[in-house]
Amino acid sequence: MIPGQFDYHRPASVSQAIGLLAEFGENARIVAGGHSLIPMMKLRMATPDHLVDIQDIPELKGVREDAGALVIGALVTQTELIASELLAEKCPILRETALQIADPQVRNAGTIGGNVANGDPGNDMPAVMQALAATYDIAGPNGARQVAARDFYEAAFLTALKDGEILTSIRIAAPAAGHGYAYQKQKRKIGDYATAAAAVILEMSVGTCSSASLALTNVGDTPLYAAAASQALVGTALDETAIGNAVAAAKDITDPAADSRGPKDFRTYVAGVMVKRAIETARSRATA
Amino acid sequence: MGKTHVKLTVNGREVEGLAEPRTLLIHFLRDELELTGPHIGCDTSHCGACTVDLNGKSIKSCTIFAVQASGAEITTIEGISGADGTLHALQDAFKEHHGLQCGFCTPGMITRAYRLLQDNPNPSEEEIRFGISGNLCRCTGYQNIVKAIQTAARELSAPKEAAE
């Protein structure tokens, strides 16, 4: 499969990249790891006239701490994310999730920025970012702005990102030390998208859940922040009843497509199982 | 939409060429450089037959444009054996343990295993299986591939004995 023809650009800074996007408008696409865009181009589902390759832009690289927040550059690959000691210590759900994405070669190429910015409902990181209440830093012709991950996803492949804008980094307030976390993903095989998956971040205080945040992958047009399910856990001991209530509330908001991963009912059922396992795993990891 | 200049170091040799931006790295390697070791299997970044080493990392060369790789150092299966044609320990082990049947996945499998052993010279069986999870083999059932990689790992990490 051969993609359509295009002109190639390799800017050295975010402002150059924004300039190119402004010049070529909707005929231009950003490419980083290329593992979402290039397959689409091979199928001629994407036919950009201009590709803006951002791989040489230093501002988009690396993981750092900034005023208590974890800042992950858009170009950080899944492999780099897995290797980050800072993230493993402060926010281990990212590593746990990245290890469940695709395979080693794909993780070497695929970037966190592409994973969250494309709006592909099959991608795993968007729900995790919603559970973490992450914020996306966006640069565009009119300057920089921030959008919460929970407000970013509008429909499949449709996000708050406007033409001409670039997602430059992800900003996460590190969860409290001793928090519980889990990303539970049901997939048919390595490299598959989730039949259903659930991300949970929670805190325990003397046996009671003091905060909880739950989000779902690939059981709707967008990642789903499960507010009611999260609320169903807070103030409980995460006993069977509370978990059952959260599972029911989470299943309530799912609307999966019937596809080769199974019919709707099955995928909603699996979402419930993933939520239950994620809560139980997170509870077992919470130390306070 | 003219051609662009692509410059790579492939198996230690500097190469240059002109390519349309849409030329995938696998096509540049196979058609321009006549390195037909890396195979085109699925062409959808699943099977790993096109795996090459790019700047010290395994990647699928069907899902990167040659122009994106410009400036990179690349190793293909052709660069794994010794300059005199001596087989690499991995190639020897695949041969000894019957780690291939039809052989289509083998270049990608060995190129991937090569990087895996660079990153982790003494992998457990589980680490090997996880490490080659992006390479599909439809013949062997993987058992003998895992054995071959284990053998090569032992061979490569054993202290070299002085020749008698």
CATH number at residue B95: 1.10.150.120
Q: Report if residue B113 sits inside a domain.
A: yes
- My answer on whether B24 and B55 are in the same domain is yes
ipTM of the complex, rounded to two decimals: 0.95
Between positions 16 and 45 of A, the ones with CB within 8 A of B are 31, 34-35, 38-39, 41-42
- My answer on whether A71 and A140 are in the same domain is yes
B95-137 pLDDT, tens digit per residue, is: 999 999 999 999 999 999 999 999 999 999 999 999 999 999 9
Distances (CA, A) of A178 to A205, A215, A283, A286, B98: 10, 20, 11, 5, 48
Q: Report if residue A137 sits inside a domain.
A: yes
Count of structural domains within chain A: 3
CATH of the domain at A263: 3.30.390.50
Q: What is the pLDDT of residue B2?
A: 83
CATH of the domain at A20: 3.30.43.10
A109 to B59: CB separation less than 8 angstroms, yes or no: yes
The model's pTM is 0.96
A42 to B44: CB separation less than 8 angstroms, yes or no: yes
Count of structural domains within chain B: 2
The band of B164, judged by pLDDT with boundaries at 50, 70 and 90, is: very low
Domain extent at residue B108: 89-157
- My answer on whether A142 and A101 are in the same domain is yes
Q: Report if residue B162 sits inside a domain.
A: no
Q: Which residues of B touch A5 (CB under 8 A)?
A: 1, 20-22
A161-181 pLDDT, tens digit per residue, is: 999 999 999 999 999 999 999
CB B55, CB B64: distance < 8 Å: no
Q: Report if residue B122 sits inside a domain.
A: yes
- My answer on whether A112 and A137 are in the same domain is yes
Q: Report if residue B143 sits inside a domain.
A: yes
Residue A74: closest CA among A164, A147, A171, A196: A171
Domain extent at residue A33: 7-52
- My answer on whether B153 and B105 are in the same domain is yes
* Residue in B closest to A190 by C-alpha: B133
Coil, helix or strand at residue A209: strand
| CB burial string A168-178: b at 16+ within 10 A, e below | bbbbbebbeee
Q: How far apart are CA B41 and CA B135, in angstroms?
A: 10
* Of the residues A149, A173, A197, the one at which a domain ends: A173
CB-based contact (8 Å) between B64 and chain A?
yes
Q: Report if residue A179 sits inside a domain.
A: no
Average pLDDT estimate for A182-193: 95
